[in-house]
Amino acid sequence: MSTYTTRIDGNQCRIVATSQAEFDQALDEAESWFNAAKRFSLAEIVIESDPDLNIQVRACNAANISVDGHSVVTVRGSAKVTVRYLAKAIAYDSAKVVAYDCTEVTAYDSARVQAHDSARVHAYDSAGVVANGSAGVHAYDSAGVHASANAVVRAADRAVVRAYDSARVVALDFTEVTTLDYVTVTARGRAVVSAWSYAEVYARESAVVHAYEFAWIDATDGTSVFEFSSCIRGKGGGRVNLYRIDYSEIPPKEWVKRYGVKVSGDTVTLFKALPLDMTSGKEYGRLTHWAVGETVTCDDWDKTPECGGGLHLCPTPGHAIYYSDDLRPRFLECEAPIEDLVPIAGKVAKCKVKAVRVVREVDWVGRPLGEDGARGGAHPPCDVA
What is the reported pLDDT for 308? 87
Rg, the chain, Cα only:
24
Please state, in angstroms and rounded to a whole number, the distance separating the CA atoms of residues 44 and 37. Answer: 14
Enter the DSSP assignment of 16. Answer: E
Angle among Cα 123, 138, 108 to the nearest 5 degrees reads: 10
What mean pLDDT comes out for the span 340-361?
Answer: 89
Q: First vs last Cα of the chain: how many Å apart?
A: 38
pLDDT at 327 over 60: yes
What is the reported pLDDT for 77? 73
The residues spanned by each domain of the chain are 251-362
pLDDT one-digit tens code per residue, 13-35: 778 878 888 888 888 887 777 77
49 and 32 Cβ atoms separated by less than 8 Å: no
pLDDT at 53 over 50: yes
Residue of 82 and 2 predicted with greater confidence: 82
Please state, in angstroms and rounded to a whole number, the distance separating the CA atoms of residues 291 and 70. Answer: 49
Residue of 371 and 374 predicted with greater confidence: 371
349 and 305 Cβ atoms separated by less than 8 Å: no
Residue 36 host element (H or E)? helix 20-36
What mean pLDDT comes out for the span 263-281?
Answer: 93
Q: Which amino acid is at 353?
A: V
pLDDT grade, residue 378 (50/70/90)?
A: very low
* Residues contacting 106, CB < 8 A, separation 6+: 89, 90, 91, 121, 122, 123, 124
Number of residues in the chain: 385
Among the residue ranges 47-61, 307-321, 370-384, the one predicted with the least confidence is 370-384
pLDDT one-digit tens code per residue, 178-236: 887 788 999 998 888 988 767 899 999 999 998 876 788 999 888 998 887 666 677 77
Q: Going by DSSP bridges, is the β-strand pair 263-264/267-274 parallel, antiparallel, or unpaired?
A: antiparallel
pLDDT grade, residue 361 (50/70/90)?
A: very high
pLDDT at 49 over 80: no
What is the reported pLDDT for 185? 92
User: Whole-number mean pLDDT of the chain?
Assistant: 81
What mean pLDDT comes out for the span 68-85?
Answer: 79
The SS3 assignment for 296 reads: strand
What is the reported pLDDT for 3? 55
pLDDT grade, residue 159 (50/70/90)?
A: confident
What is the reported pLDDT for 354? 96
208 and 192 Cβ atoms separated by less than 8 Å: yes
pLDDT grade, residue 266 (50/70/90)?
A: very high
Q: Quick one: which of 165, 215, 213 has its CA closest to 187?
A: 215
pLDDT grade, residue 143 (50/70/90)?
A: confident
Q: pLDDT above 90 covers what percent of the chain?
A: 21
What is the reported pLDDT for 190? 87
Q: Which amino acid is at 80?
A: K
pTM value > 0.75: no
pLDDT grade, residue 1 (50/70/90)?
A: very low
